[in-house]
Amino acid sequence: MSRVIRVKISEKLLEKLNEQINKELYSAYLYLGMAAYFEERGLSGFAHWFKVQAKEETEHAMMFYNHIMDRGGKIILRPIQAPPNNWQSITEIFNQALKHEKEVTKSIHEILDLAREIRDKPAEVFLMKFVEEQVEEEKIFTDILQILEYAGETPQTVLMLNVKLAQRNQ
Ligand code: MG
C-alpha cells in the first residue's frame, strides 16, 4: 500500500525542487556562520537572532523535502557550499544576508514560473507560501539595514540592536 497519494512530478521541476533544498540548507549554513561571528564577539542578541533564522531555513529545506516525498519524487542531496566568514562589519553581514535572500527570491520565482508553465497546480500552491515568505525575509533584513544606515554602526546602535534582536521568538 502506498504511504501517500502520488502525483506525478516532472523531472525538470524535481531537479529545481531538489536544488532548492540545497539553497535553503546553504542559507541555514550562512546564517549559522553569521551567528558564530556574533557569538564570538559577545553579541548574544544578534547570535540568537541568526540561530533562529538558521533553524527556520532548515525548516524551509524540510518543506521542499516533504513536498518531493509526498509526490513520490526522488530526493537528491548535493554538497553544501561553505559560506564566507571574513566579514568586515555588521552592516556588511546584513547587506550580504539581504543580497542572499534576493537570490533565493529569484530562485523561488523561477520555480513558480516553471510550475505554471507545466501546469503543476500542487507545486504552484506549495510555492506560493514561499513567495510570501520571501517578502517577509527581505523586509526583515532591510529594516535592520535601515537602522544601521540611519543611525550608523556605532556602539550605541549595535547594543540597541543586540537587545532588540534577542527578543526574537521564531
Ligand atoms: Mg528560506
Average pLDDT of the residues in 71-91: 95
Does the pLDDT at position 2 exceed 60?
no
What predicted TM-score, i.e. pTM, was given to this entire model? 0.92
Asked if 84 contacts 95 with a C-beta cutoff of 8 angstroms, the reply is no
130: its cell numbers? 514561499
Separation of 132 CA from ligand 1 center, angstroms?
Answer: 11
What pLDDT does 4 receive?
Answer: 56
Mean of the per-residue pLDDT values of the chain: 95
Confidence check: pLDDT of 100 > 70: yes
Predicted local distance difference test score (pLDDT) of residue 7: 60
In the chain, how many domains are there? 1
Domain annotation covers residue 112: yes
Q: Quick check: is 4 in a domain?
A: no
Q: For 18-38, what is the mean pLDDT? A: 98
What does the pLDDT average to over 52-56?
A: 98
Average pLDDT over residues 133-158: 96
On whether residue 5 sits in a domain, the answer given is no
Q: How far is the CA of 155 from the centre of ligand 1 (A)?
A: 30
2 domain-assigned: no
Residues around ligand 1, an ion, CB closer than 5 A: 24, 57, 60
Residues spanned by the domain of 57: 11-166
Alpha helices by DSSP H, listed for 5-154, are 11-40, 44-70, 90-117, 121-151
CATH number at residue 151: 1.20.1260.10
Give the distance from CA 151 to its chain's centroid: 27
Q: What is the pLDDT of residue 73?
A: 94
107 Cα: distance to centroid of ligand 1 (angstroms): 11
